[in-house]
Amino acid sequence: MEKSGSVDSVESLCSKGRAIEKVLQCKCECRTWIKSQFLCIDLMFFCVQVYKDTSKGELPLLPEELVQDSAKDVTYICPFIGPVRGSLTVTNYRLFFRCTDREPVFGLDLPLGVLSRVEKIGAATSRGDVSYGLACKDMRNLRFVHKEPEDSLKKSVFEVLMKFAFPVSNNMSLFAFEYKQVFPENGWRVYDPLAEYKRQGLPKESWRISKVNDRYELCDSYPAALVVPVTITDEELRRVSSFRAKGRIPVLSWIHPESQAAVVRASQPMVGQNGRRCKEDEKLLQAIMDANAQSHKMFIFDARPSVNAAANKMKGGGYESEDAYQNAELVFLDIHNIHVMRESLRKLKEVVYPNIEDSHWLSNLESTHWLEHIKLILAGSLRIADKVESGKTSVVVHCSDGWDRTPQLTSLALIMLDSHYRTIRGFQILLEKEWLSFGHRFQQRVGHGDKNHTDADRSPIFLQFIDCVWQMTRQFPAAFEFNEYFLLTILDHLYSCLFGTFLCNSEQQRLKEEVPKHTVSLWSFVNSQLEEFVNPLYVHYASHVLFPTVGIRHLQLWVTYYIRWNPRMRPQEPVHQRYKELLAKRAELQKRVEELQREAANRTASSTSERAGSPTRSITPVQTFV
Amino acid sequence: MLSLGSGGAKSTKPSFVSYVTPEEIKSEKDPPKKEKLPDLLPGEVEFCSANPILKYTQDDLSQRGVFGTLFCTNFRVTFISDETPQEKKAKTFKNKLYGENDIPLVCVDHIYGVYDEKRKLITGGLVKNKYPSKMIIHCKDLRVFQFCLRFTKEEDAKKIFQGIAHHCLEEKSLKCVFAFSYMGTPSPGTDLSFCREMQRKQETIMFDSPEDWTQEMKRTKANCRLVIENKNFELSQRLPKYFVIPLAIGDLFSYQGKGLPIWCWSHYSGCALFKASFPPVTQEDGDFQKHLETMINAVAHNYLYSVKTEDLSESLPNIQDIQQSYNKFKQFFLIENSTDFWLSDVKWFSSLESSGWLDIIRQCLQKAVEVVECLEKDNTNVLITEEEGTDLCYVISSLAQIMLDPYYRTLMGFQSLVQKEWVAGCHAFLDRCNHLHQKDKECHSPVFLLFLECVWQLVQQHSPAFQFSETYLTVLSDSVHVPIFSTFLFNSAHHRESVMKAESPLAQSGPLSCPTVWDWSVQFDSKAQNFFYNPLYSEKVKHEKAVRKPHKPKHQRQLSLPSTAFKTPLKKGFFKDETDSLKKMLRVKRLSRWMGSPDSPAATTREFYESWQHRPVDYHGLLLPCLDGPAVRVWMQRYLRWIPEMYILGGGSVAMTTKLMELLSQVQDLKRVLEQRDTSQAAKIDHHPYLQHRLLSFGSSGRLSSSFPFAYTRNRSFKPIIPTGLMQSLMVTDSLASQEDEASSVASFV
């Protein structure tokens, strides 16, 4: 069996060391570079890294990655193993720290994009030591201590770091625009809206793809292609857009292949205190209902708690009144806003990093409400999926602006309803469609390259969604084509700014910035080495709808994400590792059987008298996936 | 009377849910006349019955249910539905002794009566004339049954209620336990699987003969002395029939064996783990103090003159604490309806924490790791003590052995371990499990369950290291409450022997022989027993026969960490040449209790864990649990298997296992093809460890629920379980909640 250098995320450290070594040896090959980079990220996981080639001090740089500054004698205060002395290097993409005088060799390698804050802690001590704290978006804080350069004209390495960590604030471009790796796959071609709606089997007699937003004039945060009922004209859509917050009109997101019940997304109606109405909007919703012959009812899911929805009326927003929208039932899903979520994650970080208080772990976890929010989001999605699947009714989903809670709910409901979105490529399409094209404000929510870490627009909405997906993969271990490493990779590159995928706030902005032209898509990278991300347990059941159990009892904290920096929480060899071994074993045996059969066939051909006890067993039942 | 063979095939189970309210039914039709009888086990006698009784289906608050007859026998309370099962579903995992509507009498935990909408706990005294309209039974295996008594005749209802309450709640004598009636052990007949079962059973070492102990000492290279002087319990009735002590102990008979250090296990280095019962330190006179010193010295003599002692009654919660904590803990799983479920869901984590059960589990594992550290890293002898010496000592010593010795992680090894430490070692199962419903609350405690819980934590953290599955542990924990097995019925070896002997003349067929729990064929057919095996167990690669070395491979050798960080054990006998004074000096130094060290034990064991963790995984070497908060979990399968709200249709670990099984069988098929080839061609294939696995066959029912193989989802249309009461669930009073999503939009709208 070939031992490939592409190490699975959880292979034992031993072989990991070997793999790194191997990767370090063949630097010339670009692809391996990328791998090494991922291995490094991966390795941070274990807090222990093995660099063999330390004497030369060479760093595995990416194409276009340039060393900006480095400093020796920097101490990293590791909360788990104590102070570590080593050298620090800052490039235009990442930070390297390595310490060679301890066994095993210790290293840190993180993209600067994960930094949310870099600051000097306290003043210089008498010995001239300065301390720097680095707060990261991926649930850890790093602390370094180093000597202030004696030459006061020379900038400290941390000042350089600050410049490159926040390029947007310093009027520089993100590294994604410089990174010019070429992959065999082009991830920018993964999503084609027309092909996707065709796959869904969009019935032409009731729905049409409107070009009204072709130039993003109707709504600048929506995609160019919008699916609306045939009975509604573009002119009517324009009028609806003035009634919906940010012009985000109700448009189709997904349609059930059999019942034709539709999942429609929108933003809140601008009802206001006076109960404004818009007859085109009412007509549009009626048309959506009519497009589904199976039901004469419709559900409007407002993701917010009813109190908040009502409070929005003060600001001109609000929710659909049942007088104006007959046959529509309004349901509030009680999901809180971005600020509550941000606060919840902040609390969670406090609870899990760096140290966990064992005896109060559970109540501490509960006090963060993080899993409760996850439960509410999953429960809301479940109700949506249930109405569509079991009730055969169409649903409209919105929150305030329809770009945070709404994509969480629609995309989770879609994952439950449509097995296509549980494949690797299908999931990519889902993200491209529900999140990127429909304008989840990634730039604002993540704050790429922006030093303003207190920005109230930041919120872990997308992380929360990935967490919900992870919860589902836990409950249905064989229903998803991708593995945990895939989700981790997405989250790591949400912050890394290596790929263009999660840059900007909307499709329009991405086109304006020519993101697809100047950057590499994350999917280029992923799809070029799919085997890394495949869940070996995957069984493709095309028609299965997944209804997860949303009780807190079945939800778990995603330890391998939130607590991955804690070396003690390192996962043991998971089941799928052994499963992979089994798959390899099967492939090996299969090959062997084939060989023998060929041999036997040859022999019987040469001498018909010799009759080996060849098995009559057919080997056909052995196929890769049943 | 029916033989066990057909008696086991109970097929009646309610597969029909009545969608009319009981009131409607009452007015519509007469109670059905035909009464179905339960299939009685050999020796089972019916006490009373009542019909019609409505058994509520647990799903929701609506009063839906199934009508049927409720019986009370000397073995169980059983409900038999009036409905003929619409379709007979072959259950792959069926207990032959009791079905899903049977509650063995000793398995009843609490009975509640609902009188005029008020729920009251029924105690023995409360059973007078009044009978409740609704009877709720909480079982020790966490099932909840609700029966409505309103539709049956008053005297029948009274009779059945009083009968059940009497037989389940009143204190009774050991003789009344069903095991003593269940004498007519069924003849196995020509059951082919039986022979295999017998073989399998025989692999479990019972530790009831000197040979078993000699064998075990040989296996672990122990240098100790087997005591056979207690063969007829002359020494002490509280001590095992046979046991092993340090060589250096001469005088056996002082203090009735109190304080005798009893050998548990020897490390390959020579140091060993001992346990002893000690009276509380305060009460002892000087004489006893001296005695203790002799004992500790004797232990120290075992290897390198070093010993660490630990009084578990000081450092771990006592058995009453354990009982209290478990009582709190189990309440979270005895759920009667959906509303309760969703209400308790909100405070789930803090409720769990407040019970303290997970913390007790963590403490026990922590203590076991400390013991392991002493043996493995410091190579000192360890003596753990406790007042009785038969409760927490066993938890800790068994856990330490499982962590150190891969043999105990096999199914047979594990059973032998339970036999060695718990059964032969005289754990007071009868008192601790409270099979006789004694009022004395002091001695009840789920100590054995606590041990299984700890093992489960290890299993879920390092599943490939264990040959047995989580299902095995769950079934074992249930079997404690099946009053048929001699394993869990007695307080000590002496107790077992004396009762069995006394009973035998009555049975007139030689000495009484209850089956042991290890005879799994009593409960499950061989197909179901396959669920006991972990398909992912990484079996040890066996050496080719040709390359086998003349001497047997020592199991312990693999235990040694391939490390340099751990000091190599000093040569044995190094101290022999030293002077006495040196010995004394060393002794004083090393006799220190490790609890007294300034570093908190958690910190040192943490270090020990981390250094272990940095090594490549060796499933046949030392195994340590991660004890950090998130790593200690709730045993979902055991505790949540009966709660319909928890079922994941098409999901759960069973989805994974199914897929694995599929693959395993494919690999095996291929292997077979190749082996057939091999007979004609000399192609060499290495033996892969996976191939000795047994295959599970799942019904082809397509989508199984996560609670498989315990509860089956029936009648549950394919609908999601949508939580109720979300509104009150999360009250974020924060000002953040009312903030607008987009910070900028606040300005634009205000």
Q: What is the pLDDT of residue B27?
A: 41
In terms of pLDDT, which residue wins out, A252 or B51? A252
Instruction: Report the percentage of chain A scoring pLDDT > 90.
Output: 64
pLDDT digits (tens, 9 = 90+) for B387-437: 888 899 999 999 999 999 999 999 999 999 999 999 999 999 999 998 888
Is the pLDDT at A588 greater than 70? The verdict is yes
Mean pLDDT of chain B: 76
For A361, nearest residue in chain B (alpha carbons)? B629
In chain A, residues 303-322 whose CB comes closer than 8 Å to chain B:
305, 307-308, 311-312, 314-317
For A332, nearest residue in chain B (alpha carbons)? B727
Mean pLDDT of all residues in B465-472: 93
Mean pLDDT of all residues in A252-264: 95
Secondary structure of B521-590 in HEC code, one letter for each residue: HHCCCHHHHHHHECCCCCCCCCCCCCCCCCCCCCHHHHHCCCCCCCCCCCCCCHHHHCCHHHHHHHHHHH
Is the pLDDT at A251 greater than 90? The verdict is yes
How far is B114 from chain A, CA to nearest CA, in Å?
A: 28
Q: Which two tokens stand for residue B237?
A: 């009735």
In terms of pLDDT, which residue wins out, A572 or A243? A243
Q: What is the pLDDT of residue B198?
A: 52
Reported as half-sphere exposure (CB side, CA atoms, 13 A), residue A23 has a value of 26
Domain extents for chain A?
43-172, 187-578
Mean pLDDT of all residues in B669-680: 73
Mean pLDDT of all residues in A285-313: 93
Question: Taking phi first (over 0 means left), then psi (-120 to 50 degrees means alpha), and beta for anything else, what does residue B111 get?
Answer: beta
pLDDT digits (tens, 9 = 90+) for B209-225: 999 999 999 999 998 99
Q: Does A401 carry a binding-site annotation?
A: yes
Is the pLDDT at A383 greater than 90? The verdict is yes
B631: chain A residues, CB-CB within 8 Å: 559, 569
Using 50, 70 and 90 to split pLDDT, how confident is the model at B28?
very low
Mean pLDDT of all residues in A535-550: 86
Using 50, 70 and 90 to split pLDDT, how confident is the model at B513?
low
Domain extents for chain B?
46-170, 192-532
Mean pLDDT of all residues in B603-631: 86
To probe the interface with A, which of B645, B660, B677, B680 has the most A CB atoms within 10 Å? B677
Out of A225-234, A399-408, A461-470, B508-517, least confident range: B508-517
**How far apart are alpha carbons A335 and B346 in whole angstroms?**
15
Mean pLDDT of all residues in A41-56: 38
Q: Which member of A399, A468, A497, A504 is catalytic?
A: A399
Structural contact between residues A422 and A265, judged by C-beta atoms closer than 8 angstroms: no
How far is B462 from chain A, CA to nearest CA, in Å?
A: 7
**How far apart are alpha carbons B480 and B428 in whole angstroms?**
13
> Active site includes A399?
yes
A544:B345 CB<8 A:
no
**How far apart are alpha carbons A265 and A223 in whole angstroms?**
13
**How far apart are alpha carbons B63 and B444 in whole angstroms?**
36
A366: chain B residues, CB-CB within 8 Å: 347-350
pTM for this entry: 0.85
Is the pLDDT at B701 greater than 50? The verdict is no
Q: Does A314 carry a binding-site annotation?
A: yes
A104: chain B residues, CB-CB within 8 Å: 614
Question: Taking phi first (over 0 means left), then psi (-120 to 50 degrees means alpha), and beta for anything else, what does residue A578 get?
Answer: alpha
For B676, nearest residue in chain A (alpha carbons)? A615
Using 50, 70 and 90 to split pLDDT, how confident is the model at B31?
very low
For A472, nearest residue in chain B (alpha carbons)? B651
Is the pLDDT at B565 greater than 60? The verdict is no
Q: Which residues, in sequence order, are CB contacts of B235 under 8 Å at separation 6+?
A: B227, B229, B252, B253, B256, B257
Structural contact between residues B279 and B385, judged by C-beta atoms closer than 8 angstroms: no
Angle at A572 between CA A567 and CA A578, to 5 degrees: 150
Q: Given B359, B461, B719, which is nearest A359 (Cβ)?
A: B359
A572:B651 CB<8 A:
no
B719:A383 CB<8 A:
no
B679:A613 CB<8 A:
yes
Mean pLDDT of all residues in A87-94: 92
Q: Does A527 carry a binding-site annotation?
A: no
In terms of pLDDT, which residue wins out, B66 or B557? B66
Residue B499, helix vs strand vs coil = helix
pLDDT digits (tens, 9 = 90+) for A211-224: 999 999 999 999 99
Q: Does A209 carry a binding-site annotation?
A: no
Q: Which DSSP letter does residue A433 get?
A: I
CATH code given to domain A43-172: 2.30.29.30
In chain A, residues 338-377 whose CB comes closer than 8 Å to chain B:
338-340, 342-343, 356-363, 365-366, 369, 371-373, 375-376
How far is A3 from chain B, CA to nearest CA, in Å?
A: 17
Closest-CA residue to B267 (of B234, B228, B227, B222): B222
Beta strands in B394-456 (DSSP E): none
Residue with tokens 């974020």: B732
Closest-CA residue to A486 (of A417, A535, A440, A548): A535
Q: What is the pLDDT of residue A10?
A: 34
pLDDT digits (tens, 9 = 90+) for B621-662: 999 999 988 999 999 989 988 888 888 877 777 777 777 777
Q: What is the pLDDT of residue B733?
A: 52
Taking the CB of residue B617, how many other CB atoms lie within 10 A of it? 17
Structural contact between residues B44 and B181, judged by C-beta atoms closer than 8 angstroms: yes
Q: Domain spanning A187-578: which superfamily?
A: Protein tyrosine phosphatase superfamily (3.90.190.10)
Out of B94-98, B197-201, B204-208, least confident range: B197-201
Q: What is the pLDDT of residue B713?
A: 52
B723:A550 CB<8 A:
yes
Q: What is the ipTM of this complex?
A: 0.84
Using 50, 70 and 90 to split pLDDT, how confident is the model at A610?
very low
Secondary structure of A507-539 in HEC code, one letter for each residue: HHHHHHCCHHHHCCCHHHHHHCCHHHHECCCCC
Structural contact between residues A236 and A281, judged by C-beta atoms closer than 8 angstroms: no
pLDDT digits (tens, 9 = 90+) for A224-241: 999 999 999 999 999 999
Mean pLDDT of all residues in B325-352: 89
Mean pLDDT of chain A: 84
Q: What is the pLDDT of residue B234?
A: 86
pLDDT digits (tens, 9 = 90+) for B229-271: 888 888 888 889 999 999 888 777 766 777 789 999 999 999 9
Q: Does A404 carry a binding-site annotation?
A: yes
Q: Which residues, in sequence order, are CB contacts of B439 under 8 Å at separation 6+?
A: B171
CATH code given to domain B46-170: 2.30.29.30
**How far apart are alpha carbons A30 and A182 in whole angstroms?**
9
Is the pLDDT at B149 greater than 80? The verdict is yes
Q: What is the pLDDT of residue A31?
A: 35
Q: Does A402 carry a binding-site annotation?
A: yes
Q: What is the pLDDT of residue B210?
A: 92
Mean pLDDT of all residues in A164-184: 93
To probe the interface with B, which of A572, A595, A622 has the most B CB atoms within 10 Å? A572
Structural contact between residues A460 and A370, judged by C-beta atoms closer than 8 angstroms: no
pLDDT digits (tens, 9 = 90+) for A519-540: 999 999 999 999 889 888 888 8
Using 50, 70 and 90 to split pLDDT, how confident is the model at B60?
low
Angle at B85 between CA B81 and CA B89, to 5 degrees: 125
pLDDT digits (tens, 9 = 90+) for B733-745: 556 776 665 444 4
Out of A332-346, A434-448, A504-518, B482-496, least confident range: B482-496
Using 50, 70 and 90 to split pLDDT, how confident is the model at A319?
very high
**How far apart are alpha carbons B493 and B421 in whole angstroms?**
12
Q: What is the pLDDT of residue B292?
A: 78
Mean pLDDT of all residues in B680-698: 45
A478:B350 CB<8 A:
no
For B683, nearest residue in chain A (alpha carbons)? A596
Kind and range of the H or E run holding B346 = helix B338-346
Q: What is the pLDDT of residue B574?
A: 34
